[in-house]
Amino acid sequence: MLNLLNLYDAEVRGSLAAPAPGFRAERVGPVVRLVGPTPDPNDNAVVLAQLSEADADQEIARQISFFGALGHAFEWKHFSHDQPASLPDKLRAAGFEAQESETLVALDASRDFADADLQDGIRLRELKDPGALAAIGVVNTAVYGNARHSEWLVASIAKEKQSDPDSIRIYAAFAGDQPVSVGWVRHKRGETFGSLWGGSTLPEWRGKGIYSALVAIRAREARQQGCRWLTVDCSPMSLPILERRGFRRLSTTTPYVWSPKVLNRET
């Protein structure tokens, strides 16, 4: 899987394609960063940094200076195979706060998926119209309790869908008229990798095959668009389900978030 991980770093983390309107991706020396339209850390990130023990501290300070001058918080997305090994300690020493870790897994998209058995009354539906995307906010707010982040997420996905409709497909599972789970797949024709996102399911509807059904329908969609490898940054809850589906572990990811308030506190 090492060759696949190297390919992922080069094609996904090293990509300079803007993910949505209002964003720009740029390479500055050993760093690829994403600059977004708002100061929220969800919109700004260091996505790839090819560093050594000798230059890591200097590069961390350079990125803090850049985003701090904009007044933007940002995320440094660290992968467990990134160098130097001391990078997490260096980020924490510079004022970054570690968020929950996830596991990056990958699947050969040519693998076929059998349809999951869903109980009567559960149906899957693709969300195409902007108004239908409210289902994302309903489920995410119920699961995570963060209405502000859910509002940002719905608006961000709506802009992305409007900009390039074929590069993102959004699905939801409904029990009657109630959305109980949501997830989306990102893949642009001609690219090697696609990715699954979301997968949030209301607690009372877990363990009923809904998450697996959403994985299967999104995987088939990506394969039809020519996707070769499908990846997920998954939580500990989702990992065993995905591994049963054939996904293999590639790395562990940990977001480290820096906010301008750190700079203000030190000056």
CATH code of 206's domain: 3.40.630.30
Task: Please tell me whether the overall predicted TM-score, pTM, comes out greater than 0.85 for this model.
Answer: yes
My answer on whether 259 and 165 are in the same domain is no
Q: With 90 as the cut, is the pLDDT of residue 113 above it? A: no
Structural domain harbouring 13: 2-101+253-266
Q: Are 139 and 181 in contact (CB under 8 A)?
A: yes
My answer on whether 97 and 150 are in the same domain is no
My answer on whether 29 and 77 are in the same domain is yes
pLDDT averaged over the chain? Answer: 92
For 202, how many CA atoms within 13 A lie in the half-sphere containing its CB?
A: 17
My answer on whether 115 and 215 are in the same domain is yes
My answer on whether 92 and 119 are in the same domain is no
My answer on whether 120 and 223 are in the same domain is yes
My answer on whether 123 and 181 are in the same domain is yes
Residue 188 CB neighbour total at 10 angstroms: 16
Residue 13 belongs to a domain:
yes
Residue 176 belongs to a domain:
yes
Mean pLDDT computed over 235-259: 94
My answer on whether 132 and 82 are in the same domain is no
What integer pLDDT is reported at residue 266 of this predicted model?
46
My answer on whether 60 and 140 are in the same domain is no
My answer on whether 81 and 119 are in the same domain is no
Strands (E), 121-258: 122-127, 168-175, 178-186, 193-201, 229-234, 248-258
With pLDDT > 70 as the criterion, what percentage of the chain qualifies? 96
The band of 262, judged by pLDDT with boundaries at 50, 70 and 90, is: low
My answer on whether 73 and 128 are in the same domain is no
What integer pLDDT is reported at residue 114 of this predicted model?
66
What integer pLDDT is reported at residue 261 of this predicted model?
78
The band of 245, judged by pLDDT with boundaries at 50, 70 and 90, is: confident
Residue 182 belongs to a domain:
yes
My answer on whether 70 and 129 are in the same domain is no
Length of the chain in residues, anyone? 267
Task: Give Cα separations from 113 to 44, 108, 133, 217, 254 (angstroms).
Answer: 35, 11, 26, 8, 29
Mean pLDDT computed over 90-112: 95
Residue 76 belongs to a domain:
yes
| Two tokens, residue 14 | 């090293």
Residue 240 belongs to a domain:
no
Helices 134-144 and 147-163, interaxial angle, to 10°? Answer: 150
The band of 267, judged by pLDDT with boundaries at 50, 70 and 90, is: very low
